[in-house]
Amino acid sequence: EGGHDKGKTFKKFESYKRAELIPTKAQDLKVMVDVRNSSIILPIYGFAVPFHINTLKNVSKNEEGEFTYLRFNFISPGQIAGRKDDTPFEDPDATFVRSMTFRSSDTYHFAELFKDITELKKQAAKREAEKKELSD
């Protein structure tokens, strides 16, 4: 499958049209989920940085000493499991964020996030599958 129509293979998604639409809760400088906008918001050096759920491949959680770690794996080239039609792999020069790992001493907070993000991802995948089915 070669995708002769490059413009169509990549469906545009956008977390927020404007920065002021980012929930004020982001001021806590914590990882958060915005279900309504299908996005996760990551605190990176003072910025609240959204990532659309479509860019997320999966999230993993592990505990080590007093910290809980969440690792966000994003869809990027060179992964067989990637959903190729949703990301612009046509651009050979693009740099991709492949993963980010955060830590917190709040086990509960990260356990909830893990649950919520996994659920959001599941719902997004389901919607995508339904859409595909309809268009066939």
Which residues of the chain form contacts with another protein (CB under 8 A)?
13-22, 26-31, 39, 42-52, 55, 66, 69, 71, 74-78, 80, 87-88, 91-106, 109
Least separation in angstroms between CB 130 and another protein:
22
Compute the least distance from the CB of residue 64 to another protein, in Å: 11
Q: How far is the CB of 19 from another protein (least distance, A)?
A: 4
Rounded distance, CA 118 to CA 134, Å? 25
Q: Which amino acid is at 17?
A: K
Token look-up 């919607």 returns: 127
Report how far apart the first and last C-alpha atoms of the chain are (Å, whole number): 16
Minimum CB distance to another protein smaller for 57 or for 118:
57
Count of beta carbons in the 10 Å neighbourhood of residue 42: 19
